[in-house]
Structure 1
């Protein structure tokens, strides 16, 4: 795989007439990312961020596809067919509970709805979470062309992230294959590796917004207030980049350890920075680019929706619980709680 995300994506954008799609990335081999925890987690996240800077809707599909490939590898699932497009559909809202029926060996039948399925009409396969009749959670691999699959976007009314093709998929005795053992999805080390990778996507979107600020200011004469907004965005991005690098390094050094604390810390810091950068950009640039710059307007609409994949105060409370139970989760290099 190429080592320069931006250059490859620029070339691909020209080749595809600016309409990047998941199938183009897969055809170019850009879905063959280093697996998390194998020594190059940072490079994996750099690709996620680079795609997000181009198109957050594409990044949503790309992240789901590459996460599915990582899950299949970690849980020794079937090898993906060449050119196949994958989704990772593991949201568990109480209103949409997917039931797994065992039919012998690893064979299953899926019954019921699956909500929040990004790329529903585009992917060929998916890793889905669901529930066995004995109450245990599980994962399954399903082909979207299998019988008993119905896809609907009637519940998807988003403006931001609207093109992510997120819908509800209903399964009616659909054949599938069990992946791993019950409980493996959350219990495996890669669960939090993937969760931290989402923050790299958020960072990529925020970096593109900051780049738009820099371009506009470079072409004009920014006042002191505009420069202050740009400086604030720059400092936030750099701080987040440092934390993401540290998180990636920790994961590569502790590939089988529970990465919950370091992943939550990265996600929460990037989430906060994203909110601040969106505010700084809006105040610095005004309504003009929101109305006249299609890419910027799309980023500003998409990113606040994408970042709501965070669990907000619940994640903060969980990180606080971990800090209380196990001591500070902050790096020891500067004395724990930033004791400079």
Structure 2
């Protein structure tokens, strides 16, 4: 269990922040909180800003709470888009990562499917009731391709390897491999639907909203220190730099929410928007951690458990952005447009 001072949010919904703060890094409590968020609106239906605000509010208080809630809400949104609503007693994750040396295959068996193989990076597979899982279809040539499936993780053929997770950040959000042996599954959408749907890009922006909320939590530690003791000129410079990073990301996320609700973030436009927002926020996170660390030195990392854990959680989580590789992917999107984007 993690304990320490919790810098209070200003202007955010205190009830949600209190609930997230009470999670305090506990994955089971995070799941209880996530399962109570079913009324949060889906992206693209007019209230996307509320969704992103909810995710960032959770993250500013506790990144475990936000990390678990984001995945659960993303799965609910995918099921909603597919016309397959989840039951209230179910907790969901999304396992869609691909990696070298492993493969998860799907074979049609009548009206349903059978999954076999190993899937990497399956967060909380040992605690969730269900997951949406991508697998490679085998069989007739017309059926081949990558497809999304709904799986009951309580099936006896599912084995989660939580013991390989040694991360100090998000330590209870274990994200190890899962073995599937003759596991029954239901297809969700046709081949490629998971990646084609507009919500794929929107979900990536939701993750960025969590990163941003985590950066806000780190930034509040610096502001609280400035309130306790007036900073010198160097301290003020660090505070100003943090404000620029945090504010820039907030504006980018707000603009993205408006674009999604206006129908301006579908297809390639959505992919470009997600790449930009994720890149902006990831860079802001790095800047906030840098400036807060330089301004405050080792003391909060050594003596404030909540701050130290928040930094560790955030540094791990933001590495879902692949740094220069994602910047290169963004650059490729730009050069294929045929005209300067600025």
Normalization by structure 1: what TM-score? 0.90
Which residue of structure 1 lines up, in the alignment, with residue 211 of structure 2?
202
SS, match of residue 71 in structure 2: helix
In the alignment, is the contact (CA less than 8 A) between 1:262 and 1:329 conserved in 2? no
Which residue of structure 2 lines up, in the alignment, with residue 115 of structure 1?
120
SS, match of residue 228 in structure 1: helix
Runs of 4+ in 1 over 3 A off after TM superposition: 13-20, 327-330
In the alignment, is the contact (CA less than 8 A) between 1:125 and 1:142 conserved in 2? yes
Which residue of structure 2 lines up, in the alignment, with residue 189 of structure 1?
198
Which residue of structure 2 lines up, in the alignment, with residue 311 of structure 1?
322
Which residue of structure 1 lines up, in the alignment, with residue 167 of structure 2?
158
The gaps in structure 1 that reach 5 residues or longer are 331-336
| CA drift at 1:95 | 2.6
Instruction: Tell me whether 1:53 sits opposite 2:64 in the alignment.
Output: no
SS, match of residue 128 in structure 1: strand
SS, match of residue 99 in structure 1: strand
Partners of 2:20 and 2:205 in 1: how far apart? 27
In structure 2, do the counterparts of structure 1 residues 119 and 255 end up closer, same or farther at CA, with 3 Å as the change threshold? farther
Which residue of structure 2 lines up, in the alignment, with residue 333 of structure 1?
none
1:1-340 equivalent positions in 2, closer than 5 A: 6-12=13-19, 21-26=29-34, 29-77=36-84, 79-105=85-111, 107-133=112-138, 134=141, 135-254=144-263, 257-258=266-267, 259-327=270-338, 337=342
| C-alpha RMSD over aligned residues | 2.0
In structure 2, do the counterparts of structure 1 residues 224 and 13 end up closer, same or farther at CA, with 3 Å as the change threshold? same
| CA drift at 1:25 | 1.6
SS, match of residue 140 in structure 1: strand
| CA drift at 1:323 | 1.7
Partners of 2:277 and 2:20 in 1: how far apart? 30
In structure 2, do the counterparts of structure 1 residues 302 and 109 end up closer, same or farther at CA, with 3 Å as the change threshold? same
In the alignment, is the contact (CA less than 8 A) between 1:322 and 1:329 conserved in 2? no
In the alignment, is the contact (CA less than 8 A) between 1:91 and 1:116 conserved in 2? yes
Normalization by structure 2: what TM-score? 0.89
In structure 2, do the counterparts of structure 1 residues 93 and 153 end up closer, same or farther at CA, with 3 Å as the change threshold? same
Partners of 1:247 and 1:14 in 2: how far apart? 27
SS, match of residue 232 in structure 1: helix
Q: Which moved more, 1:84-93 or 1:320-329?
A: 320-329
SS, match of residue 36 in structure 1: coil
Partners of 2:79 and 2:257 in 1: how far apart? 21
